[in-house]
Chain A
Amino acid sequence: GQQVMQIPQYQHVQEGEDFTTYCNSSTTLSNIQWYKQRPGGHPVFLIQLVKSGEVKKQKRLTFQFGEAKKNSSLHITATQTTDVGTYFCAGPGGAQKLVFGQGTRLTINP
């Protein structure tokens, strides 16, 4: 079935450094979504990408959808302590379900 692979599993950075997480699918995706889960919290929707090659920005966060619609990335510029958490990508899993990647846990040294 549908699988969404995400790397790295963990990333530790110094505050102010950049951070990137990558998501790859075994099949072409109609769209991809990104969620953030703060420690002790629940996943919160960040953004959805639909078009091939699409790039969207939210302040210091840049989201990309690959040309083949099989991969995506989230890049954070100049991380801040508020960026701490686990970032999940998710693709459609049929019947309005989502298939989540394994997540990338970001920790930051202030």
Chain B
Amino acid sequence: SAVISQKPSRDICQRGTSLTIQCQVDSQVTMMFWYRQQPGQSLTLIATANQGSEATYESGFVIDKFPISRPNLTFSTLTVSNMSPEDSSIYLCSVSRGTSTDTQYFGPGTRLTVL
């Protein structure tokens, strides 16, 4: 398993601003992912954070809106840019070792409210 922390745990932001969420893991991991979970809904994958290269985004998510960094094997950031109320959601990072049968371990999440 892995111990994952996220900062901030929650935030209330004004529309048009940006928020950067940090994800820190206690050990080196191959894969890091960012998800969005709207209230009462399932998990939607935003992107895979690749160490040392550009993130791989899922359909419907773009780098300009959700820039992601991963400078090393234990840390990643997700920025929610030019926010609108529709971005209000829980943002979760997860990690795995990267094998095809590997499980994912999730951080505690960041609850974002955009006014």
Question: Residues of A with Cβ closer than 8 Å to B?
Answer: 30-31, 33, 41-45, 48, 50, 88, 92-93, 95-98, 100-103, 105
Contact = CB atoms under 8 A, between A and B. Distances in A.
Q: Which of A48, A93, A100 has the most CB of B within 10 A?
A: A100
A57 B94 CA distance: 26
| Chain B interface, DSSP helix/strand/loop, else mixed | loop
B40 interface: yes
Contacts of A92: 100-101
Interface of B: 30-31, 33, 40-43, 45, 48, 56, 92, 94, 96, 98-109
Given A102-B42, A105-B40, A48 B103 contact: yes
Contacts of B43: 43, 88, 100
Contact of A30 (B41, B42, B45, B101): B101
B101 A48 contact: yes
Contacts of A97: 33, 45, 48
A64 B33 CA distance: 27
Given A42-B92, A42-B108, A42-B109, A96 B102 contact: yes
A48 B100 CA distance: 12
B26 to A, nearest CB: 16
Contacts of B31: 96
Contact of A100 (B40, B42, B56, B101): B42
Contacts of B42: 88, 100-103
A7 B42 CA distance: 13
Contacts of B92: 42-43
Contact of B105 (A30, A41, A45, A105): A45
B101 A45 contact: no
A50 B40 CA distance: 29
A43 B90 CA distance: 12
9 contacts: A31-B100, A42-B107, A44-B106, A45-B103, A88-B43, A92-B100, A96-B102, A97-B48, A101-B42
Nearest to A46: B103
A102 B31 CA distance: 23
Contacts of B104: 43, 45, 98
